[in-house]
């Protein structure tokens, strides 16, 4: 699924990473706990999270996650967006809840990216 | 002359905004060296989890990364409170993290188990009241 389609489905604002709007992701992972993101996600997964601090961007960077959606109207600050830009990470923000965001994307064909075995 | 490249970092105490800088810098170096992506990812996860642990539990510390032709060795040394029961600390879900750490999305008790999973070997030496040294190896 293209990032620009994800942006449209979630009515999301693009906060940085415009050049990545035509990137394609095939899976998503939703969590507010970065410990779980570190333990359970694969690379190239879309990260949906309501945790909004610098460690969210650092965690994504460590895992080569290049696309983040902040849910529930969370708004990253300038320091977060600056780090995201430096690391080439695309950041979107939606007012939808985590459940609704994941549900919309799953219904549209995006699959779970975490290791749940 | 050694064939290994050594990186040294000081992890500042209680500075959550800087937690992860050493891991990020190491990851950039490994990328520059052209190492395989899965190796870089495993090293990054092990080191980041360890670095976060140092900030959360141990008032920071020192990290040495030795990049050799056959392996990458990370030594994370702190002078924090030590781990009374290492076996218990290795259990997924066991945590003594503060509320501040949990607010940042950590402290779920997944750090050490995840480090063990991503490293080829993980050794923990700890003395209560003296500190902890974690040695993690990722083989190339």
Whole-angstrom Cα distance, residue B7 to residue A108? 45
User: Domain count of chain B?
Assistant: 1
Distance set, CA B17 to CA A30, A57, B20, B85 (Å): 23, 11, 8, 29
| Alpha carbon distance A23, A68 (integer Å) | 12
Residue of B nearest to A52 (CA): B104
CB contact under 8 A, A35 and B105: yes
pLDDT over 60 (residue B6)? yes
**Of A34, A43, A64, which is closest to B105 when you measure between CB atoms?**
A34
Task: Assign B77 a pLDDT band (cuts: 50, 70, 90).
Answer: very high
Q: Per-residue pLDDT tens for A21-41?
A: 999 999 999 999 998 999 998
- Tell me: the pLDDT tens digits for B22-42? 999 999 999 999 999 999 999
> What local confidence, expressed as pLDDT, does residue A116 receive?
66
Domains contained in chain A, CATH given = 3-110 (3.40.1390.20)
Residue appearing with tokens 């849910």: A71
- Contact call for A35 and B113, based on CB within 8 A: no
pLDDT category at B13 given cuts 50, 70, 90 is: confident
ipTM entry: 0.85
The candidate with the shortest Cα–Cα distance to A74, out of A90, A102, A103, A94, is A94
B131 forms beta bridges with: B127
Domain span holding position B127: 5-139
Give CA–CA dist B116/B137, Å, rounded: 10
Positions of chain A with pLDDT lower than 70, given as ranges: 116-117
Q: Residue B33: which CATH number? A: 3.30.565.10
Question: What proportion of chain B, given as a percentage, has pLDDT over 90?
Answer: 71
Give me the half-sphere count of Cα atoms (radius 13 Å) on the Cβ side of residue B97: 25
């Amino acid at each position: 699924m293209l990032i620009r389609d994800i942006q449209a489905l979630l009515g999301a604002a693009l906060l940085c990473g415009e050049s990545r709007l035509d990137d394609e992701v095939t899976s998503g992972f939703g969590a507010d706990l970065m410990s779980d993101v570190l333990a359970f996600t694969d690379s190239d997964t879309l990260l949906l999270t309501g945790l909004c601090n610098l460690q969210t961007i650092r965690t994504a960077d460590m895992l080569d996650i290049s696309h983040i959606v902040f849910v529930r109207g969370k708004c990253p600050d300038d320091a977060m967006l600056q780090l995201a830009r430096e690391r080439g990470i695309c950041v979107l923000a939606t007012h939808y809840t985590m459940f609704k965001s994941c549900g919309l994307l799953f219904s549209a064909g995006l699959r779970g990216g975490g290791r749940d075995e | 002359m050694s064939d290994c490249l050594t990186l040294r970092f000081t992890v500042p105490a209680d500075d959550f905004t800087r937690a992860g800088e050493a891991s990020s810098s190491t990851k950039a170096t490994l990328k520059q060296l052209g190492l395989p992506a899965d190796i870089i990812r495993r090293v990054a996860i092990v080191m980041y989890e360890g670095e976060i642990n140092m900030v959360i539990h141990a008032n920071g510390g020192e990290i040495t990364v030795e990049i050799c032709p056959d392996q990458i060795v990370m030594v994370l040394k702190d002078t924090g409170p030590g781990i009374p029961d290492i076996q218990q600390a290795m259990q997924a879900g066991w945590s003594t993290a503060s509320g501040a750490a949990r607010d940042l999305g950590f402290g779920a008790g997944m750090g050490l188990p995840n480090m063990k999973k991503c490293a080829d070997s993980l050794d923990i030496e700890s003395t209560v009241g003296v500190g902890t040294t974690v040695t993690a190896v990722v083989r190339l």
